[in-house]
Homo-oligomer: A and B are copies of this chain.
Amino acid sequence: MKIKIINPNTTQAFTDALQRLADGVARPDAEILAVSPASGPSAIESFYDEALAVPGVLEEIRKGDQEQDVDAYVLACFGDPGLYAARELTDKPVLGIAEAAFHMAAMVSACFSVVTTSPRVRFMTEHLVSRYGFDEQCKKIRTTPIQVLDLANSPDTAIAKVIAECLKARDEDKAEAIVLGCAGMSQYRTRIEAEIGIPVIDGTVAAVKLCEALVDMQLSTSKVLTFNWPKPGMARGMQADIKSIA
């Protein structure tokens, strides 16, 4: 089976790291294809960034369905940008890494905290926790004084700050697991877990493994109503398909 990981930002270092990470955990019969859109923001830290990233994400979905024979998709940004639109555009499973991480965390812990990047994303993250139904299991959303790109540019300093916050989550929130709130942290999961001694869940890996499970189960997005195909020909001043807007 072929699983496509779409990193909604254009920072190739993250995309490469996700490819390596996923290659390491995927089953032998699963091929991983990690990509970034041709254009879009270099990191997603605001609703504006998210809005600009979505057209590129959707173009990658289209390409995946029409040109790449993809079996399942992972949106590798913790805000799950464009998740519902993507589910309309394909009949293959599409998972966001935030939802994947929350579901997995809920199955292996009594409660968890999220450790994410800058304070600005707290509101966005609270909405995801709430929308997906994890208000009770999620003890706290902890932000760190780092930017997404710090994880690429000065990873040691950034990860030290993440670990410091994870320890607070464990000791102050009494969180029994940690959800990493940024795809840029994915490759440091093992290191962080070793430091804090409780399960650390990374959404990218979680989503890849859930995609494998869904494909095996021949289970995909219900297209009966909400996520039905978009109506063609609605766009004026745009080309007929999503390709044109990315």
A17 in contact (CB, < 8 A)? no
| A interface residues, how many (CB within 8 angstroms) | 87
Q: How far is the CA of A10 from the CA of B237 in the complex (A)?
A: 9
Q: Are B226 and A120 in contact (CB under 8 A)?
A: yes
The distance from the CB of A68 to the nearest CB of chain B, in whole angstroms, is 19
The distance from the CB of A8 to the nearest CB of chain B, in whole angstroms, is 12
A176 contact set on B, CB distance < 8 A: 222, 224-227
A221 contact set on B, CB distance < 8 A: 108-109
A33 in contact (CB, < 8 A)? no
Binding site for B on A (CB under 8 A): 10, 25, 27, 38-43, 45-52, 54-55, 58, 82, 84-85, 87-89, 93, 95, 99-100, 103-104, 106-111, 119-120, 122-124, 127, 130-137, 170, 174, 176-177, 197-199, 201, 205-206, 209-210, 212-214, 216-217, 219-222, 224-228, 230-231, 234-238, 242, 245
A54-B54, A108-B222, A133-B134 given; 14 more Cβ-contact pairs under 8 Å: A27-B216, A40-B236, A49-B234, A51-B82, A52-B242, A52-B245, A103-B106, A104-B214, A109-B227, A110-B227, A119-B174, A130-B136, A201-B219, A245-B245
